[in-house]
Amino acid sequence: NKVLLHSASAGLVSGDNNDSYDEFVKDVKTGAVIRVSTNYEDTEANGNSEGYAISADGTQVLFDSDADNLVDGDTNRAYDVFVKNIETGVVTRASTNKDGSEANGASFGGTFSADGTKVLLSSLATNLSLSDENGTQDVFVKDLLTGEILRVSSDDTGNAANGLSDGYGLSADGQQILFTSDATNLVLNDGNRASDVFISTLAYNGGKDDVTSSVSYTLPTNVEDLSLTGLDGLSGIGNES
């Protein structure tokens, strides 16, 4: 019932005075049009914006913008990826690292997972994930609930792609990502010297396995007390590099 529009027209909504491209959502049943490239207080963006997706439930819009007034603390002078909740007006910047620090390079939108909790984006930033030293655009998935962000344009051991990558699709559960890349090191025997299409499967817990164990003991007949000796705790560390 809703359509995402990209327009530089000043006549779609009242008060459009920024002389820039904005993003709009039109309700095809009622004809109502709202501008989504605004901040929480509905102040219009002071830069250009481009829309990418509406969440499955129609409540969120994914777009990028070079405006610096959509959220507080936007000082990177680059395109960022934003999520606007059209019911509450809340704007969230998705192109940030796990600690919330802004990207140090331009970022571009992609799409939502089916439940609207994860976002696919592409970025030239080097500070969204650890050891991002390949000097080219990478593909990321941002968890909007936890803030965690994962680079998906890497091989199965975590090595970064040695060529430009661009995200295209995210599975309904947010676990599989479709992207293209010029890289030659993502899979074995990639010698065609051309951009290829890849699917990456993610584990959002970072590969951590939780193991629990218990010990039970039944006292023999006529034994009223039992003392246990040894360590009072058990700890384990795994998946270290």
Give mean pLDDT, residues 55-79. Answer: 97
Lowest-confidence segment of 66-80, 92-106, 181-195, 211-225 by average pLDDT: 211-225
Distance separating alpha carbons of residues 150 and 128, to the nearest angstrom: 8
Q: Is the pLDDT of residue 210 over 70?
A: no
Give mean pLDDT, residues 88-109. Answer: 97
pLDDT of 131: 87
Q: Is the pLDDT of residue 204 over 60?
A: no
Percent of the chain residues past pLDDT 90, beyond the cut: 81
Residues 6+ away with beta carbon under 8 Å from 34: 13, 24, 25, 86
146 dihedral zone (left: phi>0; alpha: psi -120 to 50; beta): alpha
Q: Residue 239: which pLDDT band, with cuts at 50, 70 and 90?
A: very low
CA distances to 64, 120, 141, 199, 230 from 81, in Å? 4, 10, 12, 22, 54
- Of 237 and 19, the one with more pLDDT: 19
8 A C-beta contact, residue 160 and residue 138: yes
Distance separating alpha carbons of residues 67 and 208, to the nearest angstrom: 38
User: 211: how many CB neighbours lie within 10 A of its CB?
Assistant: 6
Give mean pLDDT, residues 138-148. Answer: 96
Task: Tell me if the pTM is above 0.85.
Answer: no
Q: Is the pLDDT of residue 223 over 90?
A: no
Distance separating alpha carbons of residues 55 and 172, to the nearest angstrom: 11
Distance separating alpha carbons of residues 121 and 98, to the nearest angstrom: 14
What does the buried/exposed string (b/e) look like for 52-65 if buried means 16 or more CB atoms within 10 Å of the residue's CB? bbbbeeeebbbbbb
Report the mean per-residue pLDDT for the chain: 88
